[in-house]
Amino acid sequence: MQEWNAIISVREHGFRQALEVFGEFGEVKRTEFYNIILLRALDVTQMLETLRERAQEAPESLAFLARIIPVTRTFIFNSPEEFEERARSAVFGWKPNLLGKSFFVRIHRRGFKGRLSSMDEERSLDTLLLEELERSGGAGKVVFEDPDAVIAIETVGNRAGIALFTREEKKRYPFIRVD
């Protein structure tokens, strides 16, 4: 699946239920990675609201779900350098949203083992974004405890999805887990 707008991590023995539940919202696709599903939801906002309502009514109904990360942009990369360039471009697009705010970048990598370091890339993007915010006459701050925003980057092989979540969105949708 080239175009996807959510990545889902499933708990042990929850794969079939995840396929069934998320099949209601759009096209689901298994990946080569254990308990990882890609989704092309027809309406991401409606899906998140439906999941939130279900979790409030019957918390056990989402027990199969480890985490879901809806993404707003995807890209393909074929080298660590191409990943860095495309991730930087995407992250810089949120500069106006991050002026004067606390944030951090979190990467969950699947594939490119030994070629791409999540921790190094997170640190690099945090630093580059801080420098860019300063150049713009604003400031930002990297904070890991209850930041104003989190930029989540998820890779599946040579495909990446990226999104920015505010503190409010993370509270409203507790199944969006970026840590």
DSSP for 36-103? EEEEEES-HHHHHHHHHHHHHH-GGGGTTEEEEEE-SEEEE-SSHHHHHHHHHHHHHTTHHHHTT-EE
Q: Which domains does the chain have, with CATH numbers?
A: 6-70 (3.30.70), 73-170 (3.30.2130.30)
Measured CA to CA, the distance from residue 121 to residue 119 in angstroms comes to 5
**Mean pLDDT of all residues in the chain?**
93
Kindly give the pairing relationship between strand 6-10 and strand 36-41.
antiparallel
Indicate the pTM of the whole model: 0.92
Res. 2: pLDDT tops 80: no
Interval 40-55: pLDDT, tens: 999 999 999 999 999 9
Q: Residue 1: pLDDT above 60?
A: no
171 phi/psi in degrees, rounded to 5? -75, -40
Token representation of residue 79: 């080298």
Mean pLDDT across 123-152: 92
Query: Quick one: 96 exposed, middle or buried, by C-beta within 10 A (0-12, 13-18, 19+)?
Result: exposed
> In this predicted model, what pLDDT tens digit does every residue of 78-88 receive, in sequence order?
999 999 999 99
